[in-house]
Amino acid sequence: MHIKPFRYKDIGSIFLRLSFAALWFCCLNIHALEKAYVTNTNGKVTVIDTASDSILTTINVTGTMYLYGAVAHPDGTKVYVVGTPQFGNLGNVYVIDTKTDTVTDTISVVTNSGFPRNIAITPDGAEIYVTAAQGYKVYVIDTATLAVNARTNTPITTGGTQSGIAIASIAGVTKAYIGNASGANNFFVITTSTNNVTTIVNQTISNIQSVAFTTDGSKVYFGSGNNQYKIYAVNTATNIQAAAINLSADPSSI
């Protein structure tokens, strides 16, 4: 289980993301009401009042069979969720208005077999990055226009089977870290200003399933699957491994 808070001084809200197994969860403060948005594998989003721990409403995402990653915009007005109309094929990002709890836009991201699952947003809320497990592609969405790959014209190619993604500001530079789940000993770093990809080779880390930053962005943690039973800590200033934490089983999320 992972709890990752962000505090934005302009609205004084706290954003949280909890994720494990097939459940993604983002929580935010909206008009003095703290709400949690939970994606489900039945094409629905459950909205929870965290003060009373009661369900406020259920949002039916029409035409979607599976929902996966969820992320909140820093200003608290929208939640973005990744969904697939058919398992392993096609993929959309659905925009939810947090005031009305309705789906306001559908963004077509993957038009062939790609299996989009993970999603992250830049700290300024300007762009969303969506990873696809197949095709080695990362799709970038402009949150103002909802255009896909507007700056690059094509998806970003990483060269590996992508798993988790996390974005943070590191020494004033916004970077996306993406795990490689294909068994190769590497992970990918995208500098979001240019969308250039750097492949970081590490002879220890492999089969990455999940990614998370410390709140200051100084370290990134990779959960390693395929009987690795480890979480690896990497210093983001050098991209050198700092520690390996032994577990009793493979981590499903972090």
AA letter at 40? N
Distance CA 183, CA 248 (A): 20
pLDDT of 97? 96
pLDDT at 225 (0 to 100): 83
Per-residue pLDDT for 243 more than 60?
yes
Confidence grade of residue 18 (pLDDT, cut at 50, 70, 90)? very low
Residue that is written with structure tokens 């032994």 in the block = 246
- In whole angstroms, give the CA distance from residue 210 to residue 166: 9
Overall pTM surpassing 0.75 (yes/no) = yes
Q: Among 108-122, 161-175, 225-239, which stretch is predicted with the lowest mean pLDDT?
A: 108-122
pLDDT digits (tens, 9 = 90+) for 203-229: 788 888 889 999 999 999 999 888 888
Percent of the chain with pLDDT over 90: 53
Give the pLDDT confidence of 171-195 residue by residue, as tens digits. Answer: 999 999 998 888 788 899 999 999 9
* Model pLDDT, residue 9: 31
Q: Which domains does the chain have, with CATH numbers?
A: 1-157 (2.130.10.10), 163-254 (2.40.128.630)
Residue-wise pLDDT tens digits, 25-82? 666 665 557 899 999 988 999 999 999 999 999 999 987 778 888 999 999 999 999 9
CA distance 164 to 196: 18
What tokens appear for 90 in the block?
A: 């096609």
Least confident of 13-27, 31-45, 95-109, 150-164: 13-27
In three-state secondary structure terms, 61 is: coil
Give the separation between CA 126 and CA 38, rounded to whole angstroms: 23
Q: Determine the average pLDDT of the residues in 10-21.
A: 33
Comparing CA positions, the residue from 201, 192, 211 lying closest to residue 159 is 201
Kindly tell me if the per-residue pLDDT of 20 is higher than 60.
no
Q: Tokens 């697939």 sit at which residue?
A: 84
pLDDT level of residue 16 (50, 70, 90 thresholds): very low
The pLDDT-based confidence of 17 (bands split at 50, 70, 90) is: very low
**Higher-scoring residue by pLDDT: 91, 114:** 91
Give the list of residues 6+ apart from residue 99 with CB closer than 8 angstroms, or none: 30, 31, 77
Distances (CA, A) of 74 to 2, 43, 79, 151: 19, 24, 10, 21
